[in-house]
Amino acid sequence: MENDLVIPRHIAIIMDGNGRWAQKHSLERCEGHRMGAEALKKLIENMRDLPEVKYMTFYAFSTENWKRSEEEVSALMHLLVEFLDMNLSIFMKNDLRLLVTGRLEGMPEEPRSKLKEAIEKTKDNKGLCVIIALNYGGRSEIADAAKAIARKAACGELDPEKVDEKLFAEYLYNPQVPDPDLLIRTSGELRLSNFLLWEISYSEIYVTDTLWPDFDKNELMEAIKSFNKRSRRFGGR
Ligand code: FPP
């Protein structure tokens, strides 16, 4: 059966429910995030037997997440540094490439330099491209693209009449990455939360009640099976 499945090339995931997972297990919220980072590590490690998936984008920290308590923000930044330190060998062993989407320049110095280092070290890897959305907002991404286009137009390097969907998309954070085919959200909320607003225009959406720390490869296969039952028409008939 699995051999007959159409496998999405790009899967984007809103990793939600770490806090509820912690509450359910009578633990601090930060322990939920720790287990969330562990789930992320295991999943990308297990993707080697699904080589048709070329890109996965994970929503780890939004432009709105700065509003959380200082303690939680700092724990998340610390976890990110730890994740990069501990898992670079897994990226290399599994031929995984790391990319980031979001306003990287707005990230604190330590995670920012670790990210740059890991992006550089993994840049020639040819397997799955793991994109972590950090300080990311879909509206910010669109606004940043509009600003870059406006700057070019203002200094006469770009004819405003030439701005169309294709050109606009070239100014997004990772223009070389194809749009997600499948968007997964864990923990049951039916919201997009400002994630990849431009890129998910025609993505299939799959929501599971499973909390992110419990999400694994079997859950991913369920999402892919559901994706296979959809008929993607991209607005046509
Ligand atoms: C949402 O759960 C999750 C986040 C805001 C952070 C996601 C982070 C991770 C999965 C781990 C860290 C990632 C890396 C790359 C190290 P929530 O806290 O909103 O959960 P709740 O809605 O149940 O409270």
Ligand 1 centroid – CA 20 distance (Å): 10
Task: Provide the pLDDT for residue 2.
Answer: 59
Residues lining ligand 1, judged by CB closer than 6 Å? Answer: 15-20, 33, 36-37, 40, 60, 65, 79-80, 83, 132, 187, 212
Q: What is the pLDDT of residues 151-207, one digit of tens each?
A: 999 999 999 999 999 999 999 999 999 999 999 999 999 999 999 999 999 999 999
For residue 89 the two structure tokens come to 């060998």
- Note the pLDDT of residue 12: 98
Topology given in CATH for the domain delimited by 2-137+178-227: Undecaprenyl pyrophosphate synthetase (3.40.1180)
**Index of the ligand 1 atom closest to the CA of residue 211:** 23
Residues in the chain with pLDDT values less than 50: none
Q: What is the pLDDT, as a whole number, of residue 232?
A: 72
Ligand 1 centre distance from Cα of residue 100 (Å): 16
DSSP for 106-144 reads GS-HHHHHHHHHHHHHTTT--S-EEEEEEEE-HHHHHHH
The best mutation among 33, 45, 81 to test binding of ligand 1, ranked by most ligand atoms within 8 Å of the C-beta, falls on 33
**Tokens in use for 227?**
């994706």
* Domain boundaries of the chain, sorted by first residue: 2-137+178-227
> What is the model's pTM?
0.96
Q: Whose CA is nearest to atom 8 of ligand 1?
A: 60
